[in-house]
Structure 1
Amino acid sequence: MTHPTILRCATWRPLLDAIEQGTGYKFELRTSDTIPKFEASFQAGEPDFVYMNPYHAVMARKAAGFIPLVRSSESLSGILVVRNDSPLRSIAELKGASIAYPAPNAFGASLYMRALLGERFKIATEPVYVQTHVNAYRSVIRGDTPAAGGIRSTLEREPAEVRDKLRVLYETPATASHPVSAHPRVPPAVRMAVRAAMIKLAKTEAGMKMLDAVSLDALVEADYAQDYAPLEAFRLERFVVSPGK
């Protein structure tokens, strides 16, 4: 199996090269091998630009003032998967069960899902955090847990032999998708140049392919107040686990 870091470099590096050509700025690609390490990095304000999930955008705004620049116009929804041959047919049947999640604060795959299970469906479950979406799906296939949280795009990237062994039991209501955000130390002119370069790429066939490879298809400008501030009302912080805990 190809290492996830290699996959990220293969998909993001061509896009960054194109943005460099469009702006004249240079970009160093940095990755984190787990979601908790990623959270610790952006909450410390380390990256200049970062691609993150919707609630991470809220966390990053509060911790370091990150400013969303662009996002896919496609909405985001989390999924709960079970084995294709599982007898489970309803959320209620998961009461008291262990559920694999990539990390506590993975928005669609974990945070939003856990909140809905507890608040909307009124069932208690036992979360098991396995660090990545890949691990979560395989936890179900191996029979370690009866269900796992994920998002549609990561399931679709799995090999057919993995997808064929899984079935979507539940899909969450949709929200605005992952933004590319900038740290406030990045000068406004640089932020605008990067956003403009990405919007321009979205209007070319080659650019659309590069953006689609990183789940930024149908690119639009992002706005924190409109797209992500509404998530603050959900009080999802009740379900957030701080890095290192």
Structure 2
Amino acid sequence: MTALMAFTVPAWAQGQPPAPTVLTVSVVPQFPAADIARTWGPILTQLSERVGVQFVLRQARDIPGFEAEVLAGTPDVAYLNPFHQLRAWDAQGYVPLLRDAELLTGIVVVRQDSPIRAARELDGHTLAFPAPNAFGASLLTRAQLVEVERIRITPVYARTHTNAYRHTLAGLSTATGGLRATLAREPAEVQAGLRVLMETPGAAPHPLSVHPRVPDALRTRLQQAWLALAQQPELQASFKAIPMPQPVLADQARDYEPLRRLRLERYAQ
């Protein structure tokens, strides 16, 4: 009887906060909200079953709104870009748990019929980006253009990757900063109308991170369940769409601290 009573002492009585029963999940809005819900819904449903906690999707209207919520510590779990991760670590202590194995690169695309054949020819032109702090699509590409190509551009922000690609297709900008993964999700006619002009060097991609209020044991269960679900045939299309088709464990010091050397804050807002 004594052993049983010791085993069932509640966490709060041991000086620990009780484990949460619901965790909010916020996803950087690279894609339209309906697409995010369609991609993440099946994963979160099965994740809830495996972990024993209800994961509820919380969607921000745009990337700046998402960033503000993360910096305020609102979501328990966040899928965010590497620059957001640095800021979220500094502001709230968000811990990266998982990321994809493939490195992230930014791309610059132009219309298929554009006469521009080299990045330096974009000097003085207007380029569309999803948001100022979109990592691969904006920060990496702008740093590459300014620091390496030594050109000046006028950025405009279209709120999402989808909108940014259409800016260039419609002739509202000469080029768009994006990602191969987001371009691959566009309809065939959009992809056919654009041409990749430049690609940046690679960096660790978007992590799935947790606020430090999430208990360590729950973090471990989340990691284990996520890795297991990625192997389920019926969910592989969803993981590819995130995109995180090959998840691996993430580490702040190894994967994201080196990005500080790029001084990306010079291009952020």
Task: Please say whether Structure 1 and Structure 2 have the same fold, judged by a TM-score greater than 0.5.
Answer: yes
RMSD: 1.1
Q: In 1, distance between residues paired with 2:128 and 2:232?
A: 39
| Unaligned segments of structure 2, at least 5 residues | 1-30
| Unaligned segments of structure 1, at least 5 residues | none
1:77 and 2:102 are equivalent in the alignment: no
Q: In 1, distance between residues paired with 2:120 and 2:241?
A: 36
Residues paired across the two proteins, number: 239
Q: In 2, distance between residues paired with 1:49 and 1:78?
A: 25
Contact 2:32 2:160 in 1 (8 A): no
For 2:129, the aligned partner's letter is: Y
1:63 and 2:98 are equivalent in the alignment: no
What are the Cα deviations for residues 213-232 of structure 1, in whole angstroms up to 9, with x where unaligned?
A: 32111110001111111101
For residue 69 of structure 1, give the secondary structure of its aligned residue in structure 2: strand
Tell me what 1:151 maps to: 179
What are the Cα deviations for residues 123-148 of structure 1, in whole angstroms up to 9, with x where unaligned?
A: 11111111111111001011011101
Q: In 2, distance between residues paired with 1:88 and 1:156?
A: 22
Tell me what 2:81 maps to: 53
Tell me what 2:148 maps to: 120
Q: In 2, distance between residues paired with 1:12 and 1:202?
A: 12
Tell me what 2:67 maps to: 39
Tell me what 2:248 maps to: 220
Contact 2:42 2:235 in 1 (8 A): no
1:201 deviates by 1.5
Moved more, 205-214 or 169-178: 205-214
Q: In 1, distance between residues paired with 2:210 and 2:55?
A: 13
Q: In 2, distance between residues paired with 1:240 and 1:19?
A: 34
Based on CA coordinates, which of the two structures has the bigger radius of gyration? 2
For 1:115, the aligned partner's letter is: A
Contact 1:74 1:217 in 2 (8 A): no
| Correspondence for 2:217 among 179, 182, 189 | 189
Q: Identity of paired residues, percent?
A: 48
Q: Structure with the greater relative contact order (CA < 8 A, sep ≥ 6): 1 or 2?
A: 1
1:40 deviates by 0.5
For 1:89, the aligned partner's letter is: R
1:99 and 2:99 are equivalent in the alignment: no
| Correspondence for 1:175 among 178, 203, 206 | 203
| Correspondence for 2:192 among 164, 176, 198 | 164
Q: In 2, distance between residues paired with 1:77 and 1:218?
A: 16
Tell me what 2:37 maps to: 9
Q: In 1, distance between residues paired with 2:110 and 2:196?
A: 6
Q: In 2, distance between residues paired with 1:147 and 1:216?
A: 26
Contact 1:102 1:130 in 2 (8 A): yes
Q: In 2, distance between residues paired with 1:6 and 1:130?
A: 18
Q: In 1, distance between residues paired with 2:231 and 2:112?
A: 39
1:112 deviates by 1.1
